[in-house]
Amino acid sequence: MQCKSSLEYNEKNHEYNPRHVAIIMDGNGRWANKKGKMRIFGHKEGFKAVKEAIRFSIINDLKILTLYAFSSENWNRPLFEIKSLMELFSYALESEIKNLKKYNIRFKVIGDITYFNKKLQNSIHNVEQMTSNNSGLILNIAANYGGRWDIVQSIKKIIHKVQRGILNVNNIKEKTFSEYLSTSKLLPVDLVIRTGGEKRISNFLLWQIAYSELYFTDVLWPDFNHYVFQQAIDAFISRERRFGGFKKYEKE
């Protein structure tokens, strides 16, 4: 069953823990505004929360952490904020490569990075390559990412193969389609967490989270810590996932 392949069984507590957690990191700007500071200050504090979430994921043996860092709609923000975010992204790549190696983290960016400048693109490719053989936590950063874009680019790849005679249109199934998404070969998303009090998906992993559990918290992202993360995990564990059926599984 899909639920058993995508969940980690905790024998001590007889519970199924999520293996793939995705987070919509919302509230940086509001956090800064409440403190009378510029929005970029909130993004910098949010970077600290990212490191906290990664530490929690490693300690609790999560397999995959996917973070929604910059959506394809975020280009509509003020130019100064976008420039500052790109600089912060570059700084994070340069400053954290040692920790990625130290903690055996495999780094991957999902999204259309061709919109970024060449220096940032090269930094992304370099860090991905340098960590490609790491076997620990898989860290996905969704940058210039949109769920609709992901679906469209998958369709284009499939059409290209059909036109070349490599793929028969009658053999296209849901599994086939998933293999062309940016998250191909990864475990399903078990849990989606959104901070900041909003209760929407905001074009994030639209195909991938069809049966994911959703957890919303009013905590603004810079205040996100291991206590809040644990609350989300506990809420997940308390739920019964049916995947469209009558029962999820029988707990022992």
Catalytic positions: 26, 74
Do 54 and 105 meet the contact criterion of CB atoms below 8 Å apart?
Answer: yes
CA dist 233 and 230 (Å) reads: 5
Do 186 and 212 meet the contact criterion of CB atoms below 8 Å apart?
Answer: no
CA dist 1 and 56 (Å) reads: 27
Residue 143 tokens read as 């940058």
Q: Which residue has the tokens 């790491």?
A: 134
CA dist 79 and 74 (Å) reads: 10
